[in-house]
Amino acid sequence: MTTTELGLPGLRTAPGAAPARPDDPRLIDRFGRVATDLRVSLTDRCNLRCTYCMPAEGLDWAPTEELLTDDEIVRLVGIGVHRLGINEVRFTGGEPTLRRGLESILTRVSALTPRPEISLTTNGIGLARRAEALAAAGVDRLNVSLDTLRPERFKAITRRDRITDVLDGMAAARAAGLNPVKVNTVLLRGVNDDEAVPLLRYCLDAGYELRFIEQMPLDAQHSWQRSEMITAAEILSHLREAFTLTPDPTERGGAPAERWLVDGGPAVVGVIASVTRPFCGDCDRTRLTGDGQLRSCLFARTETDLRALLRGGAGDDEIAAAWRTAMWAKAAGHGIDDAGFLQPDRPMSAIGG
Ligand code: SAM
Ligand code: SF4
């Protein structure tokens, strides 16, 4: 197995001290978690430039030859599903709808047995004309990112004048039966933090499920500051000015969003408080970057090079074993609050959000 050390080895157990991994085919780790949810980044490119994600000029995109091919992606997902107990696959990026052949990848993954649940996280551009094809290709659930309802603000946050495309895309996804369409919102202090209530009203009226995501230290510019982020507590306090929120009694499981019934339900709103209320203890994720690096966590500082194994002729057994070994070493938590915390070298858009 090729493992790339990206930085401080603080999360590693000293040689010889690591507990032996039991003989279990699943993606277990030392803390009793089992990863069943695979996030696959299909590209690091994007057609928006959200200020909290990447700089105006974009990034140095990975060259095509470094990206996994369609066949390589389908093979790795198949290994995950057939040998490692993966039952949910989310495609993301960058902007996954920019990946040529997306529908074909989806169709091939949906033909796996057992068929995993398939979801897509997108910025919604182009969705208006593609939602039906995506649903037909196998997408079960869809998340669309929308941080504001105001066109001028949308332009300022994403550096593109495309809000109508996104709103039309969400409506098309709903019409294509991808319900409930989930809407992801990041609130930024002094930019859109007065829109929690209008965004929730909009989503309630349209039948979308809104989830607020705390801003995380994963931007390419490394400009995240904890003191500047809008916390879950602030979000809930804004929402409670207009709505009654009660905890959703539904089992949360490994879901990142804490959910609240709005005005008694059945509508819900979610808050993904990765920073102030981390859910690492229940994490069930494993991640594959567009260039074939396996990560046990968004914040991991090590990656395992599955692409090198694939291209070096490794068999499925060998790849599955490398995947298991990597997940066994998964850290207990992301460590954002640790004094020695270091942001991963790759930004969210290159890891897959
Ligand atoms: N381009 C697609 C999109 O925007 O939905 C998929 C990739 S994007 C990285 C996935 C999600 O991550 C989006 O909802 C986006 O708002 C969120 N995101 C990006 N940077 C973030 C950050 N620093 N902290 C929290 N969420 C972030
Ligand atoms: Fe693109 Fe998504 Fe990042 Fe916005 S958050 S720049 S849409 S990858």
Tens digit of each residue's pLDDT (9 = 90 or more) over 193-238: 999 999 999 999 999 999 999 999 998 889 899 889 999 999 999 9
Distance between Cα 236 and ligand 2 center (Å): 24
Tell whether pTM > 0.85.
yes
Pocket test for ligand 2, best of 39, 47, 54, 121 (most atoms within 8 A of CB): 54
Pocket test for ligand 1, best of 139, 147, 163, 213 (most atoms within 8 A of CB): 213
- For residue 344, the ligand closest to its alpha carbon is 1
Whether pLDDT at 2 is above 50: no
Dump pLDDT digits (tens) for 105-159.
Answer: 999 999 999 999 999 999 999 999 999 999 999 999 999 999 999 999 999 999 9
Dump pLDDT digits (tens) for 39-55.
Answer: 999 999 999 999 999 99
Token pair 């879901």: residue: 255
Question: Nearest C-alpha to atom 4 of ligand 1 is from which residue?
Answer: 123
Whether pLDDT at 10 is above 80: no
Distance between Cα 278 and ligand 1 center (Å): 17
Distance between Cα 303 and ligand 2 center (Å): 22
Question: Nearest C-alpha to atom 11 of ligand 1 is from which residue?
Answer: 353
Pocket test for ligand 1, best of 45, 53, 170, 274 (most atoms within 8 A of CB): 53
Domains and CATH numbers, the chain: 2-336+343-351 (3.20.20.70)
Distance between Cα 348 and ligand 1 center (Å): 7
Question: Nearest C-alpha to atom 8 of ligand 1 is from which residue?
Answer: 353
